[in-house]
């Protein structure tokens, strides 16, 4: 049999835990199932209150503010409501390379730095209007942000959108999800559907 | 599965051994079983049971640990090559081969992307299901322009077999009545969406030699009795086929040929059996069976049969022949011609042209269509060749509304951005070139002199490159697609040729080609070895040219025809 995801996850986890406990002890402590669930991403209401896999707790607070401004809560859930910040922290480690990891950390730090300069406040403590001003400036490469920052921001933004539109709430409430369409209809008045499809063949 | 006899050790002499269980092996097994032959299907990988083993089916993206993306470390260690396939994701990865266990080599300065699917059902679980007949222009092309060895068959030889397999498989499509793309036995076609229909209508008058049609695919749009009997149902337009389809709506070994073979009671399957070589008896000049290494514990065993149908995939089948060296066949079994392993081809998918379509804001669609738009090859005979290259290409693609999948890279924040995310945007269209690759003796696979895999089988060494002919074709396709888009009034037209390596179209064919003369081909016109009468190779290895269209339907027709021939030869005591 080929190696499964869970055994990869096990090695990754053992590498971390083993340093503390010794590999044999760590291995004994953890059943396969425990390891799999330890590494699968599950939405967490409080991921901004703890250190992430990639981001520090302070950075998680900033990231939460960023995703909230990209996709705010309206009559449907927003990105922070579905833990996009926690998802981004997980996904960067699990499925992305160094370029994206570094880009994401760099823009989170830069956003914080500019907020402190501009408003003497941590980004997370800024008002919603101030936060929006800072992020608008990123996209316009102003207020001390340059085109490199703008490119770095797109990494976070794209993960926010992906995380939101593939979350159960985002996919089924803000967008329209159809697991079994029942057949293909090529021409349907848009009003009949009213939302973009979140369901895709390949994500 | 009911009525399947899974075996491990057996001294029995089967009427036929079928090596491989993908599209080709499934067809060979079904045909032999239905003709009363006691059949042993030898599969190198594990058993995958229809429905039960489609472990990712029915899950939303939120149900996957990384929302359908595959873990970095896993990709790095085990799927470096397989990840290049568009269908590789967390819901399908268990149906792809493992690059760590299945190493291969490429000659310095060349690349080849070899996508594997080593389990019961093989690549029939993962294929893209587009299904076209080769035309008489395709079968005659090598002779007409002198590139490649003439096919020993013509369209009329295969046409009744296309009819036969299509009715059983279920091919959706439209009766387009095109000389270069013969009609199949069709189930109703998938619909075009509104801009596609408008584009197709306009092109019919502006470019009458480039009809824009709906693609033809192996999906049940209107199941017939022959399908329902096997437990197959209508296609639900999920287009998540590669996770496995419990509706049995697309053709796979599991959904279609295996249950048909199993219900005869003649089917035996030896899973986890990696064929190391074929057992050849020089005194009678016949194969006696196969030598197998156990996939899991690496022990050896043998199976015996009166006939051998090699259906292990183009590269897999030729690897087995090359590794079956005897006193008489020092360079590989059935290789008196010396062409075994040579003339490896794929299709060239190295150009895509895209554009924006204005209007149609009130139009949307329901479902994820497993079909596309298709512009059949218009350079299909020498008088229609482009001045810069020989042979031709098709274009495939379609129109869709832009959505959240690309919005992450656009500007915008807050409520306005969220509003944009929730609705579909601009209509877009894309057409991808699918070019023929010429048969070139230098494009070849050999066995590596020293490196072996974990089963002790010599690794393959590829030496395959695109020629300038193939590259020029791609550049031309961008010009043509751009002209069509311009004429249609589309905006923001962009296109370029890319440099993806051969192999990644997953249409590898050739290496044990058919031909009239035993001196320059491995197989005769019935896919039978010129050298060894009870050996048949009916998968893509037998192709004398790649043609332009997707090859799988032709694997099926060639296989059904070869079985019919072999059965008659056995009955007439010539085999």
Q: Which two tokens stand for residue A167?
A: 């979350």
Asked if the Cβ–Cβ distance from B364 to A177 is below 8 Å, we say no
CB contact under 8 A, B60 and A168: yes
B85 in contact with chain A, both atoms CB, cutoff 8 A: no
For B144, the enclosing helix (H) or strand (E) is helix B136-145
Q: Which residues of A touch B197 (CB under 8 A)?
A: 186-187
**A55, part of any domain:** yes
Answer yes or no: do A32 and A75 share one domain.
no
Query: Given CB atoms, is B46 within the 8 Å cutoff of chain A?
Result: yes
Q: Are residues A83 and A51 part of one domain?
A: yes
Q: Looking at the domain assignment, is residue A52 inside a domain?
A: yes
Question: So what CATH class is B5-571?
Answer: alpha beta
A62 and A25 share a domain? no
Which residue on chain A is closest to B246 by alpha carbon?
A180
- Predicted pLDDT at B92: 97
Contact check, Cβ <8 Å, B194/A187 = yes
pLDDT category of residue A21 using cuts at 50, 70 and 90: very low
Of the residues B214, B361, B367, the best mutation for testing chain A's interface (the one with the most A CB atoms within 10 Å of its CB) is B367
Same domain? A54 vs A122? yes
Q: What is the mean pLDDT of residues A113-142?
A: 98
CA nearest to B96 within chain A: A2
Please judge whether B77 and A8 are an interchain contact, meaning their C-beta atoms are less than 8 angstroms apart. yes
Give the three-state DSSP class for A39. Answer: helix
CB pairs under 8 A between A and B: 195
Q: Which residues of A touch B403 (CB under 8 A)?
A: 196-197
Tell which B residues from 55 to 74 touch A, by Cβ distance under 8 Å.
58, 60-62, 65-74
Q: What is the pLDDT of residue A20?
A: 39
Most B CBs within 10 Å, among A12, A44, A72, A95, to test the B interface? A95
Residues A88 and A67: their CA atoms lie apart, in Å, by 10
Number of domains in chain A: 2
Task: Name the residue of chain A whose CA is nearest to B68's CA.
Answer: A203
List the beta strands (DSSP E) in B49-190: 105-106, 171-172, 186-187
Can you tell me the distance from the alpha carbon of B223 to that of B229, in angstroms, rounded to the nearest whole number? 10
A92/A132 same-domain check: yes
Domain for residue A72, yes or no?
yes
Q: B319 vs chain A: nearest CA distance in angstroms? A: 22
B363, A190 contact by CB (below 8 A) = yes
CA-based nearest distance B114→chain A, Å:
18
With CB atoms and an 8 Å threshold, state whether A201 touches B238: yes
Q: Are residues A159 and A78 located together in one domain of the fold?
A: yes
Which of A71, A90, A190 comes nearest B421 by C-beta? A71
DSSP B237: S
Long-range contacts of residues A113-116, Cβ cutoff 8 Å, at least 24 apart: A114/A143, A114/A144, A114/A145
Contacts of B234 in chain A (CB under 8 A): 183
Per-residue pLDDT of chain B (575 residues; tens, 9 = 90+): 677 899 999 999 999 999 999 999 999 999 999 999 999 999 999 999 999 999 999 999 999 999 999 999 999 999 999 999 999 999 999 999 999 999 999 999 999 999 999 999 999 999 999 999 999 999 999 999 999 999 999 999 999 999 999 999 999 999 999 999 999 999 999 999 999 999 999 999 999 999 999 999 999 999 999 999 999 999 999 999 999 999 999 999 999 999 999 999 999 999 999 999 999 999 999 999 999 999 999 999 999 999 999 999 999 999 999 999 999 999 999 999 999 999 999 999 999 999 999 999 999 999 999 999 999 999 999 999 999 999 999 999 999 999 999 999 999 999 999 999 999 999 999 999 999 999 999 999 999 999 999 999 999 999 999 999 999 999 999 999 999 999 999 999 999 999 999 999 999 999 999 999 999 999 999 999 999 999 999 999 999 999 999 999 999 999 999 999 999 999 999 99
Best of A80, A90, A127, A196 to disrupt the B interface (most B CBs within 10 Å) is A196
Q: B417 — contact with chain A (CB < 8 Å)?
A: yes
Please judge whether A178 and B414 are an interchain contact, meaning their C-beta atoms are less than 8 angstroms apart. Answer: no
Residues of B in contact with A187 (CB under 8 A): 191, 193-194, 197, 363, 365
* CB-based contact B65 A94, cutoff 8 Å: yes
Of A132, A157, A186, the CB nearest to B194: A186
Query: Can you tell me which residue has the tokens 């322009």?
Result: B145
Indicate if the alpha-carbon torsion angle B194, B197, B199, B201 is positive or negative: negative
Q: What is the residue range of A119's domain?
A: 47-174
Q: Quick check: B459 contacting A, CB < 8 Å?
A: no
A63/chain B closest Cα distance in angstroms: 15
pLDDT of residue A2 exceeding 50, the answer is no
Is the CB of A190 less than 8 angstroms away from the CB of B424? Answer: yes
Q: Are residues A20 and A116 in the same domain?
A: no
B191 touches chain A (CB under 8 A): yes
Question: Does residue A21 sit in the same domain as residue A80?
Answer: no
Do residue A107 and residue A30 come from a single domain?
A: no
Q: Does B294 touch chain A (CB under 8 A)?
A: no
The DSSP bridge partners found for residue B446 are: B461
If asked whether residues A150 and A84 sit together in one domain, one would say yes
Q: Is residue A194 part of a domain?
A: no
- Closest residue to B413, CB basis, from A39, A69, A74: A69
This model's pTM is above 0.90:
yes
In a domain, A188, yes or no: no
Q: Are both A29 and A93 inside the same structural domain?
A: no
Nearest to B409 among A39, A158, A177 (CB): A158
Instruction: Enumerate the domain spans of chain B.
Output: 5-571
Question: Which residues from B are below 8 Å from A12, CB to CB?
Answer: 73
Name which of B407, B56, B61 is nearest A171 in CA terms.
Answer: B61
CB contact under 8 Å between A159 and B66, yes or no, is no
> How far apart are the CA of B295 and the nearest CA of chain A, in angstroms?
8
Residues 6+ apart with CB under 8 A from B563: B27, B28, B31, B32, B35, B309, B538
Supply B67's token pair.
Answer: 């929302």
Q: Does residue A4 carry a pLDDT above 80? A: no
Q: Do A157 and B190 touch (CB under 8 A)?
A: no
Judgement on whether residues A106 and A18 belong to the same structural domain of the protein: no
Q: Residue A69 in contact with residue A137, Cβ under 8 Å?
A: no
8 A C-beta contact, residue A52 and residue A60: yes
Per the domain annotation, does A130 fall within a domain? yes
Question: What does residue B127 show for φ and ψ, rounded to 5 degrees?
Answer: -70, 165
Closest CA to B1 of B262, B228, B229, B251: B262
């Amino acid at each position: 049999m080929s190696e499964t995801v869970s055994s990869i996850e096990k090695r990754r986890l053992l590498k971390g835990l083993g340093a503390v406990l010794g590999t044999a002890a760590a291995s004994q402590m953890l059943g396969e199932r425990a390891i799999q669930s330890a590494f699968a991403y599950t939405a967490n209401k409080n991921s901004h209150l703890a250190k992430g896999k990639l981001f520090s707790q302070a950075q998680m607070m900033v990231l939460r503010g960023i995703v909230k401004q990209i996709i705010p809560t309206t009559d449907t859930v927003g990105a922070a409501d579905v833990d996009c910040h926690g998802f981004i922290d997980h996904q960067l480690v699990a499925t992305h390379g160094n370029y994206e990891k570094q880009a994401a950390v760099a823009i989170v730090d830069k956003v914080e730095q500019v907020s402190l300069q501009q408003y003497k406040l941590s980004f997370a403590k800024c008002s919603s209007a101030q936060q929006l001003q800072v992020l608008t400036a990123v996209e316009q490469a102003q207020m001390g942000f340059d085109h490199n920052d703008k490119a770095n921001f797109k990494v976070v933004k794209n993960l926010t959108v992906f995380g939101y539109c593939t979350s159960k709430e985002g996919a089924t409430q803000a967008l329209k999800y159809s697991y079994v369409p029942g057949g293909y209809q090529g021409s349907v008045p848009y009003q009949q559907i009213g939302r973009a499809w979140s369901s895709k063949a390949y994500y | 599965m009911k009525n399947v006899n899974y075996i491990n050790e057996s001294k029995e002499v089967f009427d036929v051994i079928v090596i491989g269980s993908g599209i080709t092996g499934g067809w060979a097994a079904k045909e032999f079983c239905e003709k009363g032959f006691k059949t042993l299907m030898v599969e190198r990988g594990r058993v995958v049971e229809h429905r039960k083993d489609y472990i990712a089916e029915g899950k939303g993206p939120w149900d996957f640990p990384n929302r359908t993306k595959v873990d970095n470390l896993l990709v790095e260690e085990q799927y470096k090559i397989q990840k290049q396939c568009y269908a590789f994701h967390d819901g399908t990865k268990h149906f792809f081969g493992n690059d760590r266990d299945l190493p291969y080599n490429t000659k310095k300065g060349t690349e080849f992307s070899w996508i594997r699917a080593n389990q019961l059902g093989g690549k029939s679980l993962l294929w893209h299901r587009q299904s076209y007949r080769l035309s008489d222009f395709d079968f005659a092309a090598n002779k007409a322009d002198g590139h490649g060895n003439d096919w020993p068959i013509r369209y009329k030889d295969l046409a009744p077999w296309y009819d036969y397999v299509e009715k059983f498989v279920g091919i959706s499509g439209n009766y387009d009545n095109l000389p270069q793309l013969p009609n199949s036995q069709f189930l109703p076609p998938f619909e075009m969406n509104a801009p596609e229909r408008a584009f197709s209508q306009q092109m019919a008058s502006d470019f009458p030699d480039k009809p824009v049609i709906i693609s033809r695919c192996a999906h049940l749009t209107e199941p017939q009795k022959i399908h329902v009997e096997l437990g197959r149902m209508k296609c639900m337009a999920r287009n998540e086929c590669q996770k496995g389809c419990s509706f049995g709506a697309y053709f796979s070994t599991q959904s279609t040929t295996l249950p048909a073979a199993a219900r005869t009671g003649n089917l035996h399957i030896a899973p986890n059996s990696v064929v190391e070589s074929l057992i050849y008896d020089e005194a009678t000049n016949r194969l006696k069976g196969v030598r197998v290494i156990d996939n899991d514990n690496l022990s050896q065993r043998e199976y015996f049969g009166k006939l051998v149908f090699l259906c292990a995939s183009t590269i897999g089948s030729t690897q087995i022949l090359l590794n079956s060296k005897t006193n008489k066949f020092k360079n590989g079994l059935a290789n008196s011609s010396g062409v075994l392993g040579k003339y490896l081809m794929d299709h060239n998918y190295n150009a895509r042209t895209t554009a924006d379509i204005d209007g149609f804001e009130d139009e949307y669609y329901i479902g994820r269509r497993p079909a596309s738009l298709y512009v059949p090859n218009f350079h299909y005979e020498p008088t229609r060749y482009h001045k810069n290259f020989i042979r031709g290409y098709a274009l495939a693609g379609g129109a869709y509304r832009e959505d959240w999948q690309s919005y992450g890279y656009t500007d915008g924040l807050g409520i306005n951005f969220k509003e944009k995310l929730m609705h579909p945007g601009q209509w877009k269209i894309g057409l991808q070139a699918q070019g023929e690759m010429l048969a070139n003796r230098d494009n070849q696979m050999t066995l590596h002199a020293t490196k072996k895999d974990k089963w002790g089988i010599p690794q393959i060494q590829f030496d395959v490159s695109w020629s300038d002919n193939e590259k020029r074709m791609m550049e031309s396709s961008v010009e043509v697609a751009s002209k069509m888009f311009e004429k249609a009034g589309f905006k923001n037209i962009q296109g370029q040729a890319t440099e993806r390596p051969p192999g990644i179209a997953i249409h590898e064919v050739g290496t044990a080609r058919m031909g009239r003369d035993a001196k320059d081909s491995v197989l005769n016109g019935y896919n039978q070895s010129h050298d060894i009468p009870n050996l048949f190779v009916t998968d893509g290895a037998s192709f004398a040219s790649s043609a332009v269209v997707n090859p799988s339907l032709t694997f099926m027709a060639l296989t059904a025809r070869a079985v019919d021939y072999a059965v008659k030869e056995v009955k007439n005591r010539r085999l």
